[in-house]
Structure 1
Amino acid sequence: MAAAELPMGQVLQAADLRWQTWPETAVAAGYITRKDTPKGLEDTMGATTRSAFLSGEPIRPQKLVRPESGFMAAILPAGYRAVAIVTDTRGSNSAGGFILPNDRVDVIRTFRDEANSKATSSDVQVSQTILTDIRVLAVGQLIQEKNGTNVVTGETATLALTPTQAETITLAQKVGSLSLALRSLADSGRPVEAEAQAAPDTALTVVRFGVARQQTR
């Protein structure tokens, strides 16, 4: 059992685990039992939790990552890529430091409009929302809020992106700066159709194998 509340990403130590009497009829498949695994405590120490555990919750191997496996790869959904973007260390590019792992965000690209800047002899800046409803995997080195405290603003935010979105955001970092806009919990998972009606479409030109094509959100 978990001897205390364990956050996602916790490296398990002896003090985090304990044996507890459990009704035999309530033992589910995947539970670690002293009968089947006498050295269960020793074997489990050093593993990393893939998700949070409540105090007294049975420890299951399916929710752990062994030391030889990559933690970020283990929590990344199938078909997605983890991409780190640079954020403003003052917090202005990450909702003032209130963006936490597992929040959903929109990614905004800000860049200099060269044509209008030359035409008006001034510095014209343009902002575009290039990705919407994106899950934040980590902020800096923190992968989960701990003890109810806000994350310390980091220099990078790691996002869960599809391969196409990964291409878009990689190019966007090269030709402008990126900001994260925190979404309301009520807006998370909003249908793409509603998103498209709410804001004009934007795109970047991605060159792959010498062929240029427009890449939308």
Structure 2
Amino acid sequence: MRPIQVVILVVALGAAVAAAMLAMNMTGRGDADSAAPVQAVIPSEEVLVVSSDIPMGGTVGAGNLQWRNWPKDGLGEGYVVRAQRPEGLTEISGMIARSQLLAGEPVREARLVRSDRGFLSAVLPKGMRAVAVKVNAASTAGGFILPNDHVDVVLTMQNGGSEGAPATAVSETILSNVRVLAIDQKVDDPEDKKSVVAQDTATLELSPEQSQLMIQAQQMGSISLVLRSIVDSVKSAEDEKIQTGVNVVKFGIQSRVTAAQ
């Protein structure tokens, strides 16, 4: 066999091997593509969510809301679903936030209120009252008590002494675990604007009975607020049984004025 024939035979064999390998690769790829799993489609609904942070007392406008797909399995009670309320965005727009709303969370009407009156009366829970108390930085944990903190209220009175004995100061906790609605005119404190300043007035959320007790206590002595840990701010069944009040001496007869929490 001449050399040129050998060369041609070798080239032909190489081309045949290359073609076979290419055919095998293409067949294998087709099998892999056909075996690829089909991505499951998760059933969802369009839900009204907050598109930007809204502070407590802020007005919820159309620019703060948007419809967003939400898994059906994750729908919570009170969510505004577009299929059920197509005009939900318009209906919610203009309402007031009773607590801070964060971007991305679904809108719940229980956390909103519509009112054409003052903000504080709108955010007060049913049956509760807002009572202003004169305070200063020294009597508010050095000024670190902020709106939405929970505090104990301590009354300090001067116990009149007899001849030769000086008067003594007596302190007593008259209310426990009450919420601070506002400090001066401030009802919210964004994390990036926290500051420690002297305060003149704290507004507390109290029941009608506690309101009467607080007003009486302010006439009897000075009021101090004691900051509670956030862990202790959740009232338990035992807390509901606690009776708080103040001992009052009138015409030489001691009595105790109390208010159920």
Q: Shared topology, TM-score over 0.5?
A: yes
Per the alignment, residue 13 of structure 1 pairs with 61
145, 170, 173: which one aligns with 2:189: 145
Mapped partners of 1:202, 1:26: distance in 2: 46
Aligned 1:20-99 pairs, distance under 5 A: 20-22=68-70, 30-33=78-81, 39-68=87-116, 71-88=119-136, 91-99=137-145
Asked whether 1:169 is paired with 2:211, we answer: no
Mapped partners of 2:241, 2:73: distance in 1: 48
State the shift of 1:127 in Å.
2.2
Report if aligned partners of 2:183, 2:199 keep a CA contact under 8 Å in 1: yes
Q: Per-residue CA shift, 1:140-187, capped at 9, x if unaligned?
A: 222333125435543221222222221111001112111101122344
Asked whether 1:183 is paired with 2:231, we answer: no
Q: Residues 40, 202 of structure 1: CA spacing in aligned structure 2 closer, same or farther, 3 A cutoff?
A: closer
Q: Per-residue CA shift, 1:175-204, capped at 9, x if unaligned?
A: 2111101122344437459978xxxx8624
State the shift of 1:3 in Å.
0.9
Alignment coverage as a number of residue pairs: 205
Q: Residues 87, 142 of structure 1: CA spacing in aligned structure 2 closer, same or farther, 3 A cutoff?
A: same
Mapped partners of 1:70, 1:168: distance in 2: 25
Q: Residues 77, 26 of structure 1: CA spacing in aligned structure 2 closer, same or farther, 3 A cutoff?
A: same
Q: Residues 72, 120 of structure 1: CA spacing in aligned structure 2 closer, same or farther, 3 A cutoff?
A: farther
Q: Residues 45, 154 of structure 1: CA spacing in aligned structure 2 closer, same or farther, 3 A cutoff?
A: farther
Which structure is higher in RCO with an 8 Å CA cutoff and minimum separation 6? Answer: 1
Q: Residues 168, 119 of structure 1: CA spacing in aligned structure 2 closer, same or farther, 3 A cutoff?
A: farther
Q: Tell me the secondary structure at the aligned position of residue 173 of structure 1.
A: helix
191, 203, 217: which one aligns with 2:246: 203
**Normalising by the residue count of structure 2, what TM-score does the alignment of the two structures yield?**
0.63
The structure where helix makes up a greater share of residues is: 2
Asked whether 1:110 is paired with 2:153, we answer: no
Q: Residues 119, 126 of structure 1: CA spacing in aligned structure 2 closer, same or farther, 3 A cutoff?
A: farther
Per the alignment, residue 256 of structure 2 pairs with 214
State the shift of 1:35 in Å.
5.3
Q: Tell me the secondary structure at the aligned position of residue 53 of structure 1.
A: coil
Q: What amino acid sits opposite 1:133 in the alignment?
A: N
Q: Which runs of 5+ in 1 are unaligned?
A: none
Superposition RMSD on alpha carbons, in Å?
3.5
Per the alignment, residue 154 of structure 1 pairs with 199
Report if aligned partners of 1:46, 1:67 keep a CA contact under 8 Å in 2: no
State the shift of 1:122 in Å.
4.9
Q: Residues 9, 174 of structure 1: CA spacing in aligned structure 2 closer, same or farther, 3 A cutoff?
A: same
Mapped partners of 2:182, 2:167: distance in 1: 34
Identity %: 39
Q: Which runs of 5+ in 2 are unaligned?
A: 1-48
**Normalising by the residue count of structure 1, what TM-score does the alignment of the two structures yield?**
0.74
Per the alignment, residue 125 of structure 1 pairs with 169
Mapped partners of 1:128, 1:26: distance in 2: 48
